[in-house]
Structure 1
């Protein structure tokens, strides 16, 4: 009988390892490798590389699974990307970018170390029994071949964990009645997400679209007159996070508390090294369109 997961553990585990995947979206190696196979730099590289495991999907499918991007922004790049580069080339370029970025940010001495190898095996074990039902991005990524090098194996495993949790998060947001833009606004209002200008810029929402959604959320009692969360808004966001944790608990139940704690420890250490190397610096963020 699996040991029940204590409250908050799923969220902590996700935060501990997530940077090992997310760094790719800010790494110059990503645009370099993806533009080399034919894509245009910037957001096209992001939309195409992340949705390519699902096949040559439409802008609507990409928007639905990514959830909080402006559909008009996605439609400027998808499906155009599929006519510029093959899916196989995009997926191969993404792996090459992850390889180069991790080696640069961690250094070969760490990227190829026993620490990374241990973290990779723990993260991979956490994905073994995950169900793809109702989780389209996870299901698509889970069908990709596993890399053999430990640093890439870790990156792929963390990618699966991220998309598994993300699919559950989208389901939770949908169940809570929050649209993609609502979710972005209320998350930003917690003070733990993007700033408002960065959220608008990276997700493609205009001032008018943002303000109209904020007015609706104020009328619903979710936001106050200053754009902050009301008591009801705070409870809504907390309930979303609790439900996301519940839907994302399976990986950590699978490996158990000791292995989960160890992966959190290793993940935090590696994430600190990424940060120290400038993986998410203001300069890098600005280059990504933030």
Structure 2
């Protein structure tokens, strides 16, 4: 498989599989089960739920691997979360919530379908092509035991694939010289991510911190006066996306183009059903990555 084709496949399959993982961050069941496990509602559920595979780590590890969150907001919830529920209990609750959510969104017929079982098998095979070097979030989740039921196998495999891709994306951002906040700001400038107000609120950045980094990006010639990309900034962002796709090709090289295309088609069907069932507020899919 040529490099350009592998990168194209990596992007296409990511786009149709991502909703099957990210729906967890919007589903009411996730917070319900994590709160029942002992956590507090809100950001604590997100920070602890996604990082529990590391064990009882400190806020620095979470901020580093999530990348675009203010360390101060993370530190309000981590490590306190581990005093309320063990990482093991949180992980169990996360899988329980994924089970209930997928059953609600996909319905009994799709859950029991041969298509879902095939997608789970293909996604698991693809995940076997990922390597842990330099991929901390992927590696932490890859150390977990595989679930048994096909819809949870699929969810876990998609989690591994998206964290593998995300770890590579962060490596590219670091190499580009963009901090977590700068990456978030330039992500909003694409018009494909959060609005600035939502990004600041959800990631814990103050107006002063945001504006100071905007000034810095302007001084570097990355953003213009109206927060639009300059030619330099547009080229940088396009390069980041290209390198992210290139860094995500391992699982698709592992299974080959034919199986990857089949998983793409199955994933599109399953994600479409989840979105149609209200997986995301207003029916809009938004990735937590910047």
1:265: which partner in 2? 265
C-alpha distance in 1 between matches for 2:78 and 2:187:
26
Instruction: Indicate the SS of the match to 1:129.
Output: coil
2:225: which partner in 1? 225
C-alpha distance in 2 between matches for 1:283 and 1:261:
25
Confirm or deny: 8 A CA contact 1:4 1:253 kept in the other structure: no
Confirm or deny: 8 A CA contact 1:132 1:139 kept in the other structure: yes
Confirm or deny: 8 A CA contact 2:176 2:240 kept in the other structure: yes
Q: Taking structure 1 as reference, are residues 207 and 26 closer, same or farther at Cα in structure 2, changes over 3 Å only?
A: same
Which consecutive aligned stretches of 4+ in structure 1 deviate over 3 angstroms post-superposition?
A: 2-5, 282-285
1:77: which partner in 2? 77
Shift of 1:127: 1.1
Q: TM-score, normalised by structure 1?
A: 0.95
Task: List alignment gaps of at least 5 residues for structure 1.
Answer: none
Instruction: Indicate the SS of the match to 1:279.
Output: coil
2:135: which partner in 1? 135
Is 1:21–2:26 an aligned residue pair? no
Q: How many residues align?
A: 285
C-alpha distance in 1 between matches for 2:208 and 2:269:
42
Is 1:193–2:193 an aligned residue pair? yes
Confirm or deny: 8 A CA contact 2:8 2:245 kept in the other structure: yes
Instruction: Indicate the SS of the match to 2:199.
Output: helix
Q: TM-score, normalised by structure 2?
A: 0.95
Q: How does 1:146-157 map to 2 (within 5 A)?
A: 146-157=146-157
Q: What do residues 205-261 of structure 1 show as CA deviations (whole Å, max 9, x unaligned)? A: 111111110110011100000001111111101110111111110011111001111
C-alpha distance in 1 between matches for 2:36 and 2:147:
21
Task: List alignment gaps of at least 5 residues for structure 2.
Answer: none
Q: How does 1:1-290 map to 2 (within 5 A)?
A: 4=3, 6=5, 7-282=7-282
